């Protein structure tokens, strides 16, 4: 085995979620090249074809690979996580929820003018709420904004307010009032809205531009892709309306459009990466890309899912890396970079992360980085973790209960500490409560499904990462600027 040349810059959980103890190594490939990643030492080893054949023929388990690696490479095992200090964790949680709130997400309405087939509120998912007519009253919004301003003394970023739905522009009058009130309390506030784009008329566009909103528009691809699933209640397609509104915004405020508009892209079957790359890269707008939720999906939907071909996506990313010195275009405006960049950045920064003693993986302190406020005034860790007493953090009139935050961290830690210690991906995993909770309750089966999918995707990204750096050590130097959060 060669020395690593690509080194980086409780209670027992349910048996439904299990990672084998010997899974601390992963063989990855890209375009005929093979590499072995070791979580023990955090090293990537390039492998010759005979070495790959021997590895596959002998089926070496984790214990034998460990002995071989330590004897032949000179690599040093990284120390295991220290046991958690319960008092220190409790102190950290209390400080975080009291003084480090970054952002509130206001669920201003549960109503929507579209009926997207894959929406988690569509009725296609077991155990999740459906669309309703619930709208946030002003008093709930006012208390939420006041709570943010009173609990951000040590936040490293200006206060942020996001507007979420349903379709938040159905409640534009409340959003206007929220903006005015927030500006009366703080001179610097970040505003974000997630919208389906159909209601971005002249009035809404002028308001968003005037208040420097970041606008996240749901757009899944060209019309034939987008309109497969994103239709209104009458079954009519939505793409043309969204495209017309975006074209108008680009004409009216070109600089704002270039700097503040983002696309939220859901990968829906059948996935054609080459087609999506051509469409979104042509638009030149950064994309936030996520897969369609499959857990809890009704059986008739599961039959439509396909395993997309990774090669066109990887090829587009490789070409973007080669082009990085040939033009001034910001690479993260390419679809392939938006999709693969975060995973590659996690690999790039894995050596900067100490393994959390508390087995957090990608989990923040619930109620600090973000607080989701539903129309009824309930507080949750985020918009992806809501809907039940098991994950509720408090009420808007009383604020986040630090004990509720601590209980969620403990339950998540219990789930992963018993199952993830031997996993090869633990230093680059982003699993959090959103992966472990379904319908407001902890669900180990969901965590298991998400775990398997995430490891497959990360293995593909790891193979690409190793191959790129072997060919050109500076190929990914642009990632820190594109994805500064790591």
Q: What is the pLDDT of residue 235?
A: 94
Given pLDDT bands bounded at 50, 70 and 90, which one contains residue 298? low
- Alpha carbon distance 254, 262 (integer Å): 14
- For the segment 95-122, the average pLDDT, to the nearest whole number, is 94
Q: Read off the pLDDT of each residue in 19-39 and give the average, rounded to a whole number.
A: 80
Rounded mean pLDDT, 115-143: 89
DSSP letter for each residue of 374-397: -TTSEEESBTTB-SSTTT--EETT
What pLDDT is stored for residue 322 in this prediction? 82
Q: How confident is the model at residue 12 (pLDDT cuts 50, 70, 90)?
A: very low
Q: Does pLDDT of 408 surpass 90? A: yes
Rounded to 5 degrees, what angle do the CA atoms 370, 134, 180 make? 55
Q: What is the pLDDT of residues 73-103, one digit of tens each?
A: 777 887 776 677 788 889 989 999 999 999 9
The mean-pLDDT minimum among 29-38, 341-350, 360-369, 465-474 falls in: 360-369
pLDDT band at 187 (very low <50, low <70, confident <90, very high): confident
Among 238-242, 284-288, 291-295, the range scoring the smallest mean pLDDT is 291-295
The residue among 54 and 317 whose pLDDT is bigger is 317
Report pLDDT digits (tens) over 205-218.
999 999 999 999 99
Q: Scan for tokens 């979420």, then name that residue.
A: 164
pLDDT at residue 6 is higher than 60: no
Q: Is 81 helix (H, G, I), strand (E, B) or coil?
A: coil
Residue 87, CA distances (Å) to 175, 375, 414 in order? 40, 35, 17
Model pLDDT, residue 220: 97
Least-confidence region, from 68-72, 355-359, 398-402: 355-359
> Does the pLDDT at position 426 exceed 60?
yes
* pLDDT at 14 > cutoff 60: no
Q: How far apart are the first and last CA of the chain?
A: 30
pLDDT of residue 134: 95
For the cut 70, the answer to whether the pLDDT of residue 300 exceeds it is no
- Greatest Cα pair distance, the chain, in angstroms, is 69
Under 8 Å between Cβ of 299 and 346: no
d(CA 478, CA 457): 21
Q: How confident is the model at residue 60 (pLDDT cuts 50, 70, 90)?
A: low
At 485 the pLDDT is 65
pLDDT at residue number 324: 66
Proportion of the chain above pLDDT 90, given as a percent: 53
Element at 56 (helix H, strand E):
helix 49-58
| Residues paired with 47 in a beta bridge | 34
Interior angle at CA 277, CA 274 and CA 278, nearest 5:
90
User: What are residue 76's DSSP bridge partners?
Assistant: none
173 or 7: which carries more pLDDT confidence? 173
DSSP alpha helix (H) spans, 104-238: 138-150, 172-185, 202-210, 223-229
**In which order are the strands placed within the sheet that holds 160-164?**
287-291, 261-267, 214-218, 190-195, 160-164, 103-107, 370-373, 378-380, 394-395, 399-400
User: What is the structure's pLDDT at 8?
Assistant: 43
In the predicted structure, residue 451 carries a pLDDT above the cut 70: yes
pLDDT recorded at residue 356: 47
What percentage of the chain carries pLDDT values higher than 70?
A: 88
Residue 307 pLDDT class (50, 70, 90 cuts): low
User: Which pLDDT score is estimated for 327?
Assistant: 47
């Amino acid at each position: 085995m060669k020395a690593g040349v690509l080194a980086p810059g409780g209670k027992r959980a349910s048996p439904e979620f299990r990672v084998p103890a010997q899974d601390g190594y992963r063989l990855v490939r890209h375009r005929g090249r093979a590499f072995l990643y070791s979580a023990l030492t955090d090293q990537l080893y390039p492998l010759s074809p005979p070495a790959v054949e021997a590895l596959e023929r002998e089926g070496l388990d984790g214990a034998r690979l460990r002995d071989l690696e330590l004897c032949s490479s000179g690599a040093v095992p990284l120390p295991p996580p220290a046991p958690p200090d319960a008092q220190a964790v409790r102190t950290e949680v209390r400080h975080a929820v009291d003084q480090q709130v970054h952002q509130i997400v206001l669920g201003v309405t549960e109503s929507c003018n579209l009926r997207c087939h894959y929406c988690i509120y569509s009725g296609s998912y077991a155990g999740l709420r459906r669309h309703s007519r619930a709208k946030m009253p002003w008093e709930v919004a006012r208390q939420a904004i006041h709570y943010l301003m009173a609990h951000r003394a040590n936040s490293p970023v200006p206060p942020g307010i996001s507007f979420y739905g349903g379709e938040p522009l159905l409640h534009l009058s409340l959003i206007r009032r929220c903006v005015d009130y927030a500006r009366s309390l703080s001179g610097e506030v970040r505003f974000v809205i997630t919208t389906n784009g159909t209601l971005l008329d002249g009035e809404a566009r002028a308001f968003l531009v005037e208040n420097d909103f970041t606008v996240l528009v749901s757009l899944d691809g060209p019309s034939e892709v987008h309109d497969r699933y994103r239709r209104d209640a009458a079954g009519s397609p939505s793409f043309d309306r969204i495209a017309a509104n975006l074209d108008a915004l680009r004409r009216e405020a070109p600089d704002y459009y270039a700097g503040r508009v983002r696309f939220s892209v859901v990968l829906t079957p059948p996935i054609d990466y080459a087609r999506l790359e051509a469409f979104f890269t042509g638009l030149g707008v950064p994309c936030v890309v996520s897969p369609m939720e499959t857990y809890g999906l009704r059986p008739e939907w599961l039959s439509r899912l396909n395993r997309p071909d990774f090669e066109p996506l990887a090829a587009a990313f490789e070409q973007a890396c080669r082009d990085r010195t040939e033009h001034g275009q910001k690479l993260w405006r390419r679809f392939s970079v938006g999709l693969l960049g975060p995973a590659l950045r996690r690999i790039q920064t894995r050596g900067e992360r100490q393994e959390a003693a508390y087995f957090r993986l990608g989990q923040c302190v619930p109620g600090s980085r973000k607080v989701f406020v539903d129309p009824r005034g309930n507080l949750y860790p985020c918009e992806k973790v809501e809907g039940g007493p098991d994950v509720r953090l408090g009420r808007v009139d009383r604020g986040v209960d630090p004990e509720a935050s601590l209980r969620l961290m403990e339950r998540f830690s219990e789930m992963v500490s018993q199952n993830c210690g031997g996993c090869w991906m633990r230093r680059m995993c982003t699993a959090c409560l959103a992966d472990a909770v379904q319908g407001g309750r902890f669900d180990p089966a969901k965590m298991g499904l998400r775990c398997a999918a995430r490891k497959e995707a990360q293995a593909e990204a790891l193979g690409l990462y190793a191959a790129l750096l072997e060919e050109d050590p500076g190929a990914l130097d642009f990632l820190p600027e594109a994805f500064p959060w790591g």
